[in-house]
């Protein structure tokens, strides 16, 4: 009885027998090498997807921010200025018209760009703001009580990691219609314009 019990114990087996005592060192090294190769292949792709998602998310938030400014201008029946502090990457409702982000502006409406997303356009046209109204030496979007914008223009966002650019633009001043467009290397295009999807770096 005692001898049959010993035969079942893992330490009682001979040197040629292997049970479920775990991985050998060689198996562990091979497994870790395969995992390292898989991570090397997938991490850059994941990082680029994350960069794209961050830029696209900021672009969509900026569209919503300008739409909100337009609706507030209509509701309050008065003009509302939207300013962009290019240094901090902060978009805000310029309530008092002084171009500064103060306590009042912080309470009313502020949008801060994500880390890695800066205000700026593509090479050759790197301005963070294109068009809009030039007031007190600054370019600002001015929404009127009828839903129109004083002058059309665009706010440009740049993802520094992937080197992609988006523009939140008001193309039709009379309607105040806001669009999100991407720089394709030669022109700004909306998603699906000309039957083509956006290409990302």
pLDDT at 105: 78
pLDDT over 70 (residue 201): yes
Question: Which residues make beta-bridge pairs with 189?
Answer: 182
Name the percent of the chain in helix, strand, coil, to the closest 5: 35, 25, 35
Q: What is the pTM of this model?
A: 0.73
Mean pLDDT, range 78-89, rounded to an integer: 87
CA–CA distances in Å: residue 180 to residues 24, 84, 108, 143, 167: 56, 17, 24, 18, 6
The predicted-structure confidence for 7-35, as pLDDT tens digits, reads as follows: 555 555 555 555 556 678 888 888 888 88
Residues 6+ apart with CB under 8 A from 121: 127, 128, 130, 156, 158, 165, 167, 183
Domain coordinates of the chain in residue numbers? Answer: 23-193
pLDDT over 80 (residue 164): yes
CATH 3.30.70.270 fits 23-193, yes or no: no
Cα 115 to Cα 55: distance, rounded to the nearest angstrom: 10
pLDDT over 60 (residue 3): no
pLDDT at 20: 55
Cα 138 to Cα 78: distance, rounded to the nearest angstrom: 20
pLDDT at 13: 54
pLDDT over 70 (residue 73): yes
* Confidence class for position 106, pLDDT limits 50, 70, 90: confident
pLDDT over 80 (residue 174): yes
The predicted-structure confidence for 37-57, as pLDDT tens digits, reads as follows: 877 776 666 566 666 788 999
Residues 6+ apart with CB under 8 A from 64: none
* Confidence class for position 166, pLDDT limits 50, 70, 90: very high
Calculate the average pLDDT of the chain: 83
- Count CB neighbours of 148 within 10 A: 19
pLDDT over 60 (residue 1): no
Query: β-pairing, 129-131 with 153-159?
Result: antiparallel
């Amino acid at each position: 009885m005692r001898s049959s019990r010993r035969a079942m114990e893992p330490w009682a087996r001979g040197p040629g027998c292997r049970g479920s005592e775990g991985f050998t060192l060689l198996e562990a090294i091979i497994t870790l090498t395969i995992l390292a190769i898989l991570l090397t292949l997938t991490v850059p792709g994941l990082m680029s997807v994350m960069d794209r998602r961050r830029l696209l998310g900021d672009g969509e938030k900026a569209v919503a921010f300008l739409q909100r400014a337009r609706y507030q201008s209509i509701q309050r029946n008065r003009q509302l200025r939207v300013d962009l502090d290019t240094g901090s990457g902060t978009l805000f409702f310029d309530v008092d018209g002084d171009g500064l982000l103060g306590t009042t502006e912080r309470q009313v409406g502020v949008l801060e760009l994500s880390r890695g997303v800066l205000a700026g356009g593509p090479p050759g046209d790197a301005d963070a703001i294109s068009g809009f109204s030039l007031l007190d030496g600054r370019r600002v979007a001015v929404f009127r009580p009828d839903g129109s914008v004083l002058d059309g223009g665009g706010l440009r966002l740049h993802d520094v990691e992937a080197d992609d650019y988006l523009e939140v633009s008001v193309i039709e001043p009379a309607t105040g219609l806001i669009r999100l467009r991407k720089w394709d290397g030669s022109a700004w295009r909306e998603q699906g314009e000309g039957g083509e999807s956006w290409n990302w770096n």
